[in-house]
Amino acid sequence: MSPRVCVIGAGCSGITAIKNLLQAGVTDIVCYEQNDQVGGNWIYSPQESHSSVCETTHIISSKGLSQYRDYPMPADYPDYPSHAQVLAYFQAYARDFGLLPYIRFNTRVERVQPLPEGRWEVTLADGAQEVFDYLLVSNGHHSVPRHPEWKDAFAGTYLHAHRYKQAAPFAGQRVLVVGAGNSGCDCAVEISRVAASVDLSIRTPQYIVPKFMMGKPTDTFNETLIKLPRPIARLSRRIGLFLQVGRYQDYGLEPPQHDILAAHPTVNSELLYKIRHGKVQPRRGITRVEGQTVHFSDGSQGTYDSIVAATGYQLATPFFEPDFLDFRDSDRVELYLRMFHPEHPSLIFIGLFQPQGAIWPLSDYQAQLAANYIMGRWAWPTDIAARARRDADAIERAFLKRKRHNIEVHYHAFLKQLQREIPADAPTWPEAVRVSAPPGDAAQ
């Protein structure tokens, strides 16, 4: 008899969880999805929603490194597909693998409580309750914004980057974007097309990495360095980036002091261009806000109509009671392989990590391991708590100590770590799946 498995979320991690459960032989699967379609964060809406993508969002990892292992992206997709193309790809994946019958759309999980013998009681928004043997959590981690402390002190228009959808509302305004991660730089570039002025506040200096290196997507260039000794690979990255960018001081930016791979990369080919053309003005970190005036750490100040805060997200699992599990303010997240909770063998997280690359190819392997564990092909390690601690220790050694890095992983190293754990007798999909073309209207 198949164990009963609950999957929370039908985004990029949730759909591959369903596919891998079916592949491993699990047949009693229910996936709860609060939206009316597959896609999670990639379901764009011009109004505020659960999604953090905006009108012009494209992925920052290249097509070749952003696809499920047995489901390639369409050959006519560009190197960096748009959010519409990515959504179409996910929806084609769900359709072609026959996942839709297992998904209950427009169904929000209100509460999850542990039961004796490791089972889980799931309460839905309409009050209905169901019980499951295993719980796979794939609700994503880009939906609950983290706001700065000075948020309420600003007298102009404030919004978190999660609410940013289009540049048009900022036409003619003086705008400050806070944060030089990928979202912040994207917002600064797009808003600069219509605003009177755009300043970009950067607290911690970042490497701004162009999307192409020697005519190829930058992540594929980095892939060629994997087999080199670490010091040589590190030097090659620095030299390659210097040849592309030059000195950060020439852009009015502070040069980063950390290694290129010690922080989540900011991949953007337009920001430095906008800076040198006077459309975006770099600023230092914020010390205080008074009315519409913002004071910076170098003693300068500026007056703004609007602030867009690209200050990250909380690791939110709102369906758990806080005294049971709450990662929101955690500096460490001790999960083995970023998925197994040492105290709850029937609770598995899929996609609760931040790779230097695309999430879903790695979620695919996590899901395969989880499914084969559920079906008894992978044994729960007796020292799993120690392994989870070592994983968290490794993250602290490898990355800057910031909340945005407490679930960070190096793409290729993490991929190899997961691949080593896949059982030799893990089933494959029973027959070849025809890759269908995504809907034409979604792929524009």
pLDDT of residue 435: 60
Q: Are residues 155 and 180 in the same domain?
A: yes
Compute the distance between CA of residue 91 and CA of residue 12 in angstroms, rounded to an integer: 9
Query: pLDDT band at residue 221, thresholds of 50, 70 and 90?
Result: confident
pLDDT per residue as tens digits for the range 36-66: 999 999 999 988 888 889 999 999 999 999 9
Compute the distance between CA of residue 67 and CA of residue 301 in angstroms, rounded to an integer: 44
Query: pLDDT band at residue 191, thresholds of 50, 70 and 90?
Result: very high
Q: Which of 270, 285, 309 lies at the terminal end of a domain, its last residue?
A: 309
Query: pLDDT band at residue 434, thresholds of 50, 70 and 90?
Result: low
Packing angle, helices 360-374 and 12-24, rounded to 10: 30
pLDDT of residue 436: 62
Number of domains in the chain: 2
Q: Are residues 66 and 105 in the same domain?
A: yes
pLDDT of residue 92: 97
Domain span holding position 282: 151-309
Mean pLDDT across the chain, nearest whole number? 93
What's the mean pLDDT in 211-215? 88
Q: Are residues 160 and 302 in the same domain?
A: yes
pLDDT per residue as tens digits for the range 333-382: 999 999 999 999 999 999 999 998 899 999 999 999 999 999 999 999 99
Among 155-164, 298-307, 312-321, 360-369, the range scoring the smallest mean pLDDT is 312-321
Q: Which of 293, 309, 325 lies at the terminal end of a domain, its last residue?
A: 309
Domain at 362, CATH number:
3.50.50.60
Q: Which of 309, 339, 363 lies at the terminal end of a domain, its last residue?
A: 309
pLDDT of residue 444: 33
pLDDT of residue 261: 87
Q: Are residues 27 and 128 in the same domain?
A: yes
pLDDT per residue as tens digits for the range 69-127: 999 999 999 999 999 999 999 999 999 999 999 999 999 999 999 998 999 999 999 99
Q: Does 439 have pLDDT greater than 60? A: no
Identity of the amino acid at 297: S
Q: Are residues 359 and 274 in the same domain?
A: no
Burial category of 116 from C-beta neighbours within 10 Å (exposed 0-12, middle 13-18, buried 19 and up): exposed
Are residues 202 and 253 in contact, defined by beta-carbon separation less than 8 angstroms? yes
Q: Are residues 129 and 50 in the same domain?
A: yes
What's the mean pLDDT in 321-338? 92
Burial category of 121 from C-beta neighbours within 10 Å (exposed 0-12, middle 13-18, buried 19 and up): middle
Are residues 49 and 41 in contact, defined by beta-carbon separation less than 8 angstroms? no
Q: Are residues 394 and 422 in the same domain?
A: yes
Q: Are residues 95 and 23 in the same domain?
A: yes
- Burial 87-96, CB ≥16 within 10 A → b, else e: bbbbbbbbee
Q: Are residues 44 and 110 in the same domain?
A: yes
Q: Are residues 205 and 292 in the same domain?
A: yes
What's the mean pLDDT in 272-294? 98
pLDDT of residue 443: 37
Classify strands 266-267 and 208-209 as parallel, antiparallel or unpaired: parallel
Residue with tokens 């005294």: 323
Compute the distance between CA of residue 390 and CA of residue 388 in angstroms, rounded to an integer: 5
Q: Are residues 168 and 288 in the same domain?
A: yes
Query: pLDDT band at residue 181, thresholds of 50, 70 and 90?
Result: very high
Q: Are residues 119 and 76 in the same domain?
A: yes
Are residues 417 and 13 in contact, defined by beta-carbon separation less than 8 angstroms? no
